[in-house]
C-alpha cells in the first residue's frame, strides 16, 4: 500500500460505526469510548437505511468520517439462513457495497470490514487459515450470507490493492455476549441455548436441541472482538484479511452441558438428530493477528456467565 494514503487514527478521528446498536457495534463503541475516542458516530436503521445508496452518500458527505467500521449486517442462525436466502444475500450486499464504495469515494482513511468464519469452505482443513478462502464449496445452510461476506472481503482487498487504501477485513468466529439476539427463530446456537435452558429451568422441563451434538465450534466473547477492532483502528495492518478467534473449540454437546450447568437447569437434554448439524467443525487459525500482539482475554465459561447475567438483567427487552 502507498504510505501516502495511510495515516494512523487518533482520539480526535471521526469514527462511524455502522450497526452501533447491535451486539458487535455496541461492543466496539464501548471499547473505543473506554480508550478515549470522543468523535463516535452512530445512526439507527430508522435514521439511516444502509440499503439505500443515496442515503449513505448523503450521510457520508454530511458527517465526513475518517474511519468506518462495518458492524452492520443481516445475521441469523441455520434456520433463518435456510428460510430467507434472498435477503441474506441481497441485503448484506447492499449494506456493505454502499458503505465500502462510499468510503472509497470520500475521504475515509480506514475501513474495517467485519465478516464471519462461514466464508470458508465447509470441508476446509482445520484450523481455518485465511488462505483457504475460495478453495472449495461452502456450507449450504448459510452460503447466501457467506457469499455476500466474501464479496465484501474481496472488495476491500481490491481497493487496497488498486488504490493503496487501508481497508482491512476481520473474520470473527462465533460471537456471543451483551446485546446478542435471543430470538429462537433467528439466533445463533449459544444465545438460543441460553434462552432455552433458562425458560425450562423453572419446571426443569426437557430441552430439545438440533442435531447430534458432535459438531465442534469456537466461541469468542464480543468484547474480545471489539478489542481486535480497536487494534485494527489504531494500527496499519500489513495484510487485508485476519481471522479473529480463541484458538480452541468445544463440541455442541459440551457447550450445551456448560450452559445447562451455568443456568442451573436440571431437566433432560434431548438431541433431535433429524435436524441438520451444519459444518462438522469450524476452528479458526488466528495466528496472523496474534503475531501482531492481539490476544483474546475472556475464557468461554466466564464469558457465558457474563452473557447469562446480561440476559437476566435484560430478559424483558430481548427478542
Residue 173 annotated as part of some ligand binding site: yes
Half-sphere exposure of 8 (CA within 13 A, CB side): 8
120, 145, 176, 242: the catalytic one is 145
Residue 20 annotated as part of some ligand binding site: yes
CB atoms within 10 A of CB 273: 11
Residue 23 annotated as part of some ligand binding site: yes
145 is catalytic: yes
Of 109, 115, 113, 114, which is closest to residue 166 (Cα–Cα)?
Answer: 109
Per-residue cell: 298: 475472556
Residue 272 annotated as part of some ligand binding site: no
Residue 277 annotated as part of some ligand binding site: yes
Residue 210 annotated as part of some ligand binding site: yes
Residue 114 annotated as part of some ligand binding site: yes
User: In this structure, what DSSP letter does residue 132 have?
Assistant: G
Residue 104 annotated as part of some ligand binding site: no
Kind of pairing between the strands at 250-251 and 216-217: antiparallel
Please tell me whether residue 8 adopts helix, strand or coil conformation.
coil
Of 48, 148, 56, which is closest to residue 101 (Cα–Cα)?
Answer: 56
Residue 22 annotated as part of some ligand binding site: yes
Residue 19 annotated as part of some ligand binding site: yes
Contact 283, 126 (CB under 8 A): yes
End-to-end CA distance of the chain: 44
Buried b (16+ CB within 10 A) or exposed e, 290-301: beeebebebebe
Please give the backbone phi and psi of residue 112, each rounded to the nearest 5 degrees, phi first: -110, 115
Question: From the centroid of its chain, how far is CA 16?
Answer: 17
Report how far residue 90's alpha carbon sits from residue 74's, in angstroms, rounded to the nearest whole number. 10
Residue 196 annotated as part of some ligand binding site: yes
Report how far residue 239's alpha carbon sits from residue 259's, in angstroms, rounded to the nearest whole number. 37
Residue 177 annotated as part of some ligand binding site: no
Helices 252-263/300-314 angle, 10° precision: 50
Residue 25 annotated as part of some ligand binding site: yes
Residue list for the binding site: 19-25, 114-117, 149, 172-175, 188, 196, 210, 217, 277
Residue list for the binding site for NADP(+): 19-25, 114-117, 149, 172-175, 188
Residue list for the binding site for substrate: 196, 210, 217, 277
Task: Give the active site residues.
Answer: 145
Amino acid at each position: 500500500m502507498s504510505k501516502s494514503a495511510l495515516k494512523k487514527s487518533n482520539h480526535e478521528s471521526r469514527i462511524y460505526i455502522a450497526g452501533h446498536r447491535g451486539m458487535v457495534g455496541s461492543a466496539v463503541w464501548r471499547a473505543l469510548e473506554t480508550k478515549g475516542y470522543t468523535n463516535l458516530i452512530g445512526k439507527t436503521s430508522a435514521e439511516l437505511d444502509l440499503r439505500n445508496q443515496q442515503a449513505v452518500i448523503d450521510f457520508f458527505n454530511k458527517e465526513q468520517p475518517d474511519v468506518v467500521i462495518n458492524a452492520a449486517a443481516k445475521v441469523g442462525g441455520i434456520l433463518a439462513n435456510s428460510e430467507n436466502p434472498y435477503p441474506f444475500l441481497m441485503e448484506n450486499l447492499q449494506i456493505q457495497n454502499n458503505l465500502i464504495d462510499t468510503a472509497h469515494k470520500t475521504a475515509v482513511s480506514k475501513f474495517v470490514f467485519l465478516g464471519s468464519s462461514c466464508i470458508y469452505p465447509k470441508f476446509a482443513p482445520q484450523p481455518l487459515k485465511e488462505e483457504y478462502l475460495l478453495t472449495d464449496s461452502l456450507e449450504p445452510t448459510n452460503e447466501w450470507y457467506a457469499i455476500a461476506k466474501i464479496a465484501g472481503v474481496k472488495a476491500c482487498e481490491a481497493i487496497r490493492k488498486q488504490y493503496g487504501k487501508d481497508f482491512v477485513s476481520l473474520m470473527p468466529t462465533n460471537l456471543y455476549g451483551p446485546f446478542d439476539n435471543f430470538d429462537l427463530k433467528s439466533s445463533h446456537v449459544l444465545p438460543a441455548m441460553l434462552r432455552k435452558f433458562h425458560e425450562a429451568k423453572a419446571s426443569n422441563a426437557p430441552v430439545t436441541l438440533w442435531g447430534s451434538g458432535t459438531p465442534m465450534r469456537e466461541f469468542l466473547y464480543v468484547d474480545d472482538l471489539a478489542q481486535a477492532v480497536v487494534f485494527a483502528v489504531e494500527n496499519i495492518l500489513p495484510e487485508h484479511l485476519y481471522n479473529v478467534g480463541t484458538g480452541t473449540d468445544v463440541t455442541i454437546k459440551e457447550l450445551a452441558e456448560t450452559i445447562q450447568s451455568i443456568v442451573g437447569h436440571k431437566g433432560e437434554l434431548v438431541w433431535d438428530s433429524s435436524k441438520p448439524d451444519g459444518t462438522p467443525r469450524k476452528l479458526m487459525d488466528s495466528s496472523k493477528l496474534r503475531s501482531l500482539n492481539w490476544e483474546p482475554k475472556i475464557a468461554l465459561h466466564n464469558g457465558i456467565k457474563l452473557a447469562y447475567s446480561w440476559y437476566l438483567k435484560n430478559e424483558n427487552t430481548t427478542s
